[in-house]
Structure 1
Amino acid sequence: MSQHDHHPAGQTPAGPADDENTARGMREAVAEPDTQHAHHAPAAAPHDEHAQPTHGGHAGHDEHAGHEGAHAGMAHGGHGGHAGHGDHVGQFRRLFWIMLILAIPVVAFSGMFSMLLGYPLPDAAWVGWISPVLGTVMYVWGGAPFLTGAVSELRNRKPGMMLLIGLAITVAFVASWGASLGLLHHELDFWWELALLIVIMLLGHWIEMRSLAQTTSALDSLAALLPDEAEKVDGDTTVTVAPSDLQVGDVVVVRPGGRVPADGRVVQGSASMDESMITGESRPVRRSDGDPVVAGTVATDSGVRVEITAVGENTALAGIQRLVTEAQNSSSKAQRLADRAAGWLFWFALIAAGITAVVWTLVGLPDDAVIRTITVLVIACPHALGLAIPLVVSIATERAARGGVLIKDRLALESMRTVNTVLFDKTGTLTKGAPAVTGVEPVDEIDADRLVALAAAAESDSEHPLARAIVTAARDKHLPVSASTGFESSPAVGVRATVDGQVVQVGGPYLLKQAGAHELPIADRWREEGAIILHVLIDGKVAGALRLADEIRPESRQAVDALHERNVQVVMITGDADAVAASVATELGIDRFFAGVRPEDKASKVKQLQDEGRKVAMVGDGVNDAPALAQADVGIAIGAGTDVAIASAGVILASDDPRSVLSVIELSRASYRKMKQNLWWAAGYNLISVPLAAGILAPIGFVLPMSVGAILMSLSTIVVALNAQLLRRLDLSPDAVLDR
């Protein structure tokens, strides 16, 4: 089979399509061995060695089993990776309030503080021990998270933020006891500074944990989509059970407004399902007998009965949770850079603190040396730097999941902003991957709607995909379809039935030959475009023709136009013949296409684009797309892709809407901007604040107090956290992205 690379602009359509290159979804429709359906085959008779069955619905992520463990996350310093952020929020909140209460008497009974504010202290021996005793409690209890973190960093030989904080409060603690016991100058009594330092540090960590917990709770909210109870059909009655007790094969009742308790398929009834929490699609999707439904989706207008096909860790929701968790745990170039920078900053702070101590001691101010050394250690903590990237990634992946975009690999999210070429597999991506009536040509006085209605009536007893496409076309147009009688199916000829007293026949070229009739002139053009052609005969005379083809998704043109607006080249790849590919590419305004490509050669086409200097995102849904997805700079599996396609992709789109590719690009660019902003802020803050803390402006009278240093360190972290939270305002719905 030949392979061709084309630029559609100005191209003359090729000759008749090679039947062997018909799209894989169409091949499934016309190549069934069932003799009832063979009447359609002579119209196209395709067989494509790379064809795959069409995957319907949005239940294609069942294979991603389970939410494996709690949200792991952003390991920096001694936070223990921030696992279990909800628990950390409670711990730091309680600890903060307790330490704040203890800090009040420590500060109030501090001699230095009373002198600063000008109030006398009681003349009693016990007064002098209030601050040391309570300060020691605060150091041991309130400082425990930082001290244990420091020990952990030392054991792991990864010095960082916790070690700097631990050193700062330990130096202040030892110096204060030395002053209280008369071993050091009384001006080294830092009890009130130590108390405020611990309180401020706990407040900063509490706020940080709240930000991180909001991200983790978003994952938990996915699990909350499941109902607390399910109505399981038991004979002629229903029994209430927990969703966790359901088994594959059980049938449940989902009432209007109720949620589906587990993945399944509709076995009775029809309902408009709100799938927005899974796919990001705001409009309800109609689901009827045989259609898949996903756990957590809502039946908005009527009730249905659903047979369970997947439970527990095998459901789509569990897969989404697992994918988001994997993405948050995966590494990226930006994160590795931030981790290295945080490590460098530790040594920078330690060296700066050492120089500060030596210089101020040499100039004869040992008290100032201790104060400023502590301030340098506190203010240089690489807290904001360590949080700059992980928090952005956590919020981005959570926000993406809510918008129907599942990020498996953070590198894929990071790379998407640099993509300048998107390569779409045609079938099932730009097209629906299933036959549809795309053209009607009536003859004489019969109108198009009447022709479709008669054909649908004749085909109503057939289960062939082309027959279903004709019946669907009539239903979508709300045409009245009369009952038929005397249905007959003839292999390689067509169907025959009596409708409203007229004999209606539908079939391909053998039907025309048998009837001694000729095909309509428009058939030649349709055939050149790769369509399947069926003629409709009424009482032995040709009444018209139907054009059936793999229908282009209505959103595809918008996706292509929007990518062009963002200076992204759009390329299409397909196993179809040139004429079919050229027709689709021209209709959609695609820049370039590869036609007649065998499955094993798709990856080489991706490599060809990369060799031209292009950064390529490949979008596909089939098994034969997997090597190309793996070869691309970013692999994107769309809709209900196969297991292999999903395993090879770095990004999964829960819906079949190709415009969702734009959502990935927008998210990548927005999250990168936030990462840069946070890194510049964190790095810039340290470059300015550390020299100030060391006392570089002391000769002109400006000295940065230790408590102010702690406040500035906490504020830098808060700024980074709040800046990352702004990502939550990003609307990733395709309509919103197109409006930007």
Structure 2
Amino acid sequence: MEHQHHTKSPATDHSKMDHSTMHHGSNPSMGMAGHDHSMMIADFKKRFFVVLALTLPIMLLSAMIQRFIGVDWQFAGSSYLLFALSTVVFFYGGWPFLTGWIGEIKAKNPGMMFLIGFAITVAYSYSVAIVFGLKGMDFFWELTTLIGIMLLGHWIEMKSIAGASKELELLVQLMPSDAHMVMADMIHDVKTDTLKENDIILVKPGEKVAADGIILEGESYLNESMLTGESKPVKKVKGDKVIAGSINGSGSFKVTVSHAAKDSYLSQVVKLVDDAQKSKSKTQLLADTAARWLTIIALCSGIATFLYWYLTGQPLAFAMERMVTVIVICCPHALGLAVPLVVAKSTALSAKNGLLIKNRNAFENSRKITTVVFDKTGTLTVGKFEVSKIISLDQALKENELLRLASALEQKSEHPIATGILQKVKDLAIKIPATENFNAITGKGVEATVEGKKILVVSPGYLKENKIAIPEGFTADDTETVVFVIIDKKLAGYIALSDKIRPESAAAINTLKQEKIKSILLTGDNSKVAASVSKTLGMDSFIAEVLPDQKLKEIKALQQKGEFVAMTGDGVNDAPALAQADIGIAVGSGSDIAAETAGIVLVNSDPKDIVGLILFGKATYRKMIQNLVWATGYNVVALPLAAGVLYNQGIVLSPAAGAVLMTVSTVVVAINAALLKVKN
């Protein structure tokens, strides 16, 4: 029995996360950043249409196009007009790429902008030299179509990225901007971000709750699906916690605000999602390395291609065109976006479904899980203990008196057993006495002085350790958990509580079986209860009567057998075990997100969500690998074509065709990422 009196663990150190910024444009952050992102999209769109308008006159002025359509429209100064129009395209249309190129040189991190900037500068400089006397054919129309297609590609790609992070912005928009604040004389409408602890707000029917807090008066049904993924409206009465952003049903109620808006559950979720989108996992780092190598390969291949064609007697213009095409087609764009797009989509989608990813590596590693260790109370079971029997062993002591004395000790605890005893006291309208010298006996129970008597409420393990005989006639069925009450060193009686198995648990364990993942029950409860739950659900095995500090050892033992272990626990008394597990999943943590040692937090305690998490982790990893394979494979095929391997067979790619192929590959990656879904 895990009779643990909860204390909040300090907030985990988030500074360990790598918050380095991702590939350009792939992490539209909150607020201002989102605004800047939409301005960038509009800027690329405007530049694209200006270049598009100039493309037709430039093409009609180009000698190569005129020859192709069989006309000769050359006139005095036509080459200078062509030069003037192309210069506008190069500087206005190419500006984002030129500034990006300079930025990457300064950062000593050559990438996509470096390649595009280099390619368009080579094409432009060579064409200008032709206008002013060098023999050969200019590249102006190729340069214009190349810049136009690049701008279009970037515009489409940035819209895809904005779409991938739309879920995150939806989370931000959940927070209402105004709240009805209850003052002594009247109700004032105030801005949500001005609310502070202990303010009282009114929530009217159909409105969103403006702040985390506790219901002061009134009751209603709340829809928390956007925050927890739980579709059924939840009944909330006086004393219940409410989360900012949840939608009120038909009742109205007053809420005492727990903390300022910036500390609310929703703000923490948004920060977590944003951090997780920025943090780089091993897969992301792999993609970054591949993109860097691709940049080096592109430059080397481009120069080698130029030298090969020029030294084998081809005209300078042809050799230049091959080099520009190789460099453009080899842009590691799709590769650079392959992972960030999936990351942005998966983290935001998870948050919407009640899975909060704090550690990207833990999430991506969920595909490797071979064993899931479940904490019983509140995960596989409902977590609501109801008193099933009260037995007094002292004829002078009535059942209700035993309950009254026990409840005094339990009023300070948040443990499910304590909640069950307190609920029974409330139902019987028993007044709870005060306690003195309160002390928690780790994992075994509690002790205190009540009305001058020394009282202990303890687990069967405590009796065993202290060699106290279990009373004759003691009966408890397999599903009951028992606490013993000791008054002034004499065993006075016991209280049995039972906890129902969740209806979703069996299906969750069954899905794990289908995925060939073992499920193990790890509990502080007695062996009989553990065996009964384990057998009912068809689990692989169980480990019972384990104290919180021993859970860590059990996890280690499994890891030594070569298992990749995911541990689920409530994140407070299970903190060491969660930290030891390969993947720590804190369940049912509601608003206490920051206080967990787990890499992943599940808002609900539903075991179905744990299975959902594993399947979603696998789906996310699949998408990343698909994108990486596509982005790499496309380059393997396109690069030789661009270099002119099939030139003698009459197959040659123009720079514009190279740019189209590069854009298509990027859009395929973006669409594939957008198709990621959470299966429930």
Is TM > 0.5 for Structure 1 vs Structure 2? yes
Deviation at 1:533, TM superposition (A): 10
**1:673 aligned counterpart, secondary structure:** helix
Answering whether residue 173 of structure 2 is matched by residue 247 of structure 1, we say no
Structure 2 partner of 1:530: 481
TM-score, normalized by length of structure 1?
0.76
Distance 1:323 1:645, change over 3 A: closer
Instruction: Name the Cα RMSD after superposition.
Output: 3.4
Q: Pick from 181, 186, 194 the counterpart of residue 237 of structure 1.
A: 186
Partner of 2:76: 125
**1:64 and 1:352, CA in 2 relative to 1: closer, same or farther beyond 3 A?**
same
Q: 2:102 aligns with which of 151, 158, 161?
A: 151
In the alignment, what sits opposite 2:461?
none
Shift of 1:112: 1.8
SS of 1:648's partner is coil
Aligned to 1:431: 381
- Answer yes or no: is the 8 Å Cα contact 2:27–2:344 preserved in 1: no
Residue 263 of structure 1: aligned partner: 212
Q: Return closer, same or farther for 1:691/1:622 CA change in 2, 3 Å cut-off.
A: closer
Identify the residue that residue 101 of structure 1 maps to in structure 2: 53
Quote the residue 2:148 is aligned against: 199
What SS class does the counterpart of residue 607 from structure 2 fall into? coil
User: Given the superposition, is the C-alpha separation of residues 312 and 64 from structure 1 closer, same or farther in structure 2, using an over 3 Å criterion?
Assistant: farther
Q: Does 1:624 align with 2:576?
A: no
2:93 aligned partner? 142
1:380 counterpart residue number? 330
* Aligned equivalent of 1:411: 361
Are positions 1:354 and 2:303 aligned together? yes
Please show how residues 171-186 of structure 1 align to structure 2 within 5 Å: 171-185=122-136
Q: Is 1:592 matched with 2:571?
A: no
Structure 2 match to 1:114: 66
Native 8 Å contact 1:626 1:645 kept in 2: no
Aligned residue for 1:719? 668
- The answer to whether the 8 Å contact 1:638/1:653 transfers is yes
What is the alpha-carbon distance in structure 1 between the residues aligned to residue 661 and residue 390 of structure 2? 72
Q: Using the TM superposition, give the Cα deviation of residue 98 of structure 1 relative to its aligned residue in structure 2, in angstroms.
A: 2.0
Instruction: For 2:571 and 2:304, locate their aligned partners in 1 and report how far apart those are by CA, in whole Å.
Output: 62
Task: Indicate how the Cα distance of structure 1 residues 251 and 489 shifts in structure 2: closer, same or farther if over 3 A, else same.
Answer: closer
Deviations 1:677-696 (A, max 9, x none): 11111111111111100111
Alpha carbons 1:621, 1:641 under 8 Å: kept: no
The alignment partner of 1:604 has SS state of helix
Is the CA contact (8 Å cut-off) linking 1:63 and 1:315 kept in structure 2?
Answer: no
Cα distance in 2 between the residues matched to 1:334 and 1:490: 58
CA positional deviation for 1:439: 8.4
- Which of 16, 23, 26 is 2:2 aligned to? 23
List per-residue Cα deviations over 1:662-681 (Å, max 9, x = no partner): 11111111111111111111
Q: Which amino acid aligns with 2:565?
A: V
Asked if the contact 2:164–2:674 (Cα under 8 Å) also holds between the matched residues in 1, the reply is no
Name the structure 2 match of 1:161: 112
2:279 alignment partner in structure 1: 330
Per-residue deviation, 1:128? 2.3
SS in structure 1 at match of 2:88: helix
Structure-to-structure mapping, 1:70-89, within 5 angstroms: 73-75=21-23, 84=33, 85-89=37-41
Q: Which runs of 5+ in 2 are unaligned?
A: 392-399, 412-416, 435-456, 458-470, 486-493
Structure 2 SS opposite 1:296: coil
2:270 to 309, 317, 321: 321
Partner secondary structure for residue 365 of structure 2: helix
For the residues of structure 1 that align with 2:432 and 2:299, how far apart are their CA atoms? 86
CA drift at 1:239: 1.1
Check whether the contact 2:590–2:604 (CA below 8 A) recurs between aligned residues. Answer: no
Alpha-carbon separation, structure 1, partners of 2:324 and 2:479: 80
In 2, Cα distance between equivalents of 1:431 and 1:172: 68
Instruction: Give SS of 2:568's match.
Output: strand
Question: Is the CA contact (8 Å cut-off) linking 2:623 and 2:673 kept in structure 1?
Answer: yes
State the Cα deviation string for residues 253-303 of structure 1 (Å, max 9, x = none): 101111110111101011111001111000011111110000000111211
CA–CA separation in structure 2 for the residues paired with 1:625 and 1:207: 46
The separation in 2 between residues aligned to 1:348 and 1:138, in whole angstroms, is 28
Structure 1 pair 576–642 and aligned structure 2 pair: CA distance change class (3 A): farther
Secondary structure in 1 matching 2:475: helix
Structure 1 pair 621–341 and aligned structure 2 pair: CA distance change class (3 A):
same
Is 1:287 the counterpart of 2:236? The answer is yes
In structure 2, the residue matched to 1:398 is: 348
**Contact 2:27–2:340 under 8 Å retained in 1:** no
In 2, Cα distance between equivalents of 1:365 and 1:695: 12
Number of aligned residues: 611
1:636 counterpart residue number = 585
Quick one: distance in 2 between partners of 1:329 and 1:522? 61
Which of these residues, 90, 96, 106, is aligned with residue 42 of structure 2? Answer: 90
Is the Cα–Cα contact under 8 Å of residues 73 and 81 in structure 1 kept in the other structure?
A: yes
Contact preservation (8 Å) 1:74, 1:387: no
Matched, 1:222 2:171: yes
Shift of 1:661: 0.6
Kindly indicate whether the alpha-carbon contact (under 8 Å) linking 1:251 and 1:307 is maintained by their aligned counterparts in 2: yes
Instruction: Give SS of 1:307's match.
Output: strand
C-alpha distance in structure 2 between counterparts of 1:81 and 1:374, whole Å: 29
Shift of 1:119: 4.3
Aligned-partner Cα distance in 1 for 2:47–2:596: 44
Aligned-pair CA distance for 1:361: 0.9
Separation of aligned partners in 1, 2:12 and 2:506: 31
Question: How many angstroms does 1:546 deviate by?
Answer: 9.3
- TM-score, with length taken from structure 2: 0.83
The letter for the 1-side match of 2:385 is P
Flag the 1:687–1:65 CA change in 2: closer, same or farther, 3 A: closer
Residues 146, 645 of structure 1: CA spacing in aligned structure 2 closer, same or farther, 3 A cutoff?
closer
Counterpart of 1:310 in 2: which secondary structure? Answer: coil
Q: How does 1:324-723 map to 2 (within 5 A)?
A: 324-366=273-315, 367-437=317-387, 469=420, 524-526=475-477, 529-531=480-482, 548-640=497-589, 646-723=595-672
Determine helix, strand or coil for the equivalent of 1:623. Answer: coil
Shift of the 297–231 alpha-carbon distance from structure 1 to 2, 3 Å rule, reads: same
Deviates more, 1:704-713 or 1:593-602: 593-602
The SS at the match of 2:638 is: helix
| Residue identity in the other structure for 2:208 | R
Letter in 1 for 2:668: V
CA distance in structure 2 between the partners assigned to 1:72 and 1:134 by the alignment: 40
Deviates more, 1:412-421 or 1:104-113: 104-113
Alpha-carbon offset, residue 376 of structure 1: 0.5
Change (3 A) 1:689 1:710: same
CA pair 690-150 structure 1, distance change in 2 beyond 3 A: same
Cα 1:422/1:114, change in 2 over 3 Å: same
Q: Give 1:218 shift.
A: 2.3
Corresponding position of 2:394: none
Q: 2:335·2:632 contact (CA, 8 Å) conserved in 1?
A: yes
Q: Is the 8 A contact 1:74 1:82 kept in 2?
A: no
Cα offset, 1:552, TM superposition: 3.2
> 1 CA distance for matches of 2:339 and 2:624?
6
Cα distance, 1:584 vs structure 2 = 2.6
Structure 2 counterpart of 1:212, one-letter code: I
Unaligned runs of 5+ in 1: 1-21, 25-50, 442-454, 476-480, 492-507, 509-519, 535-544
Tell me whether 1:52 sits opposite 2:2 in the alignment: no
Aligned residue type for 2:550 = D
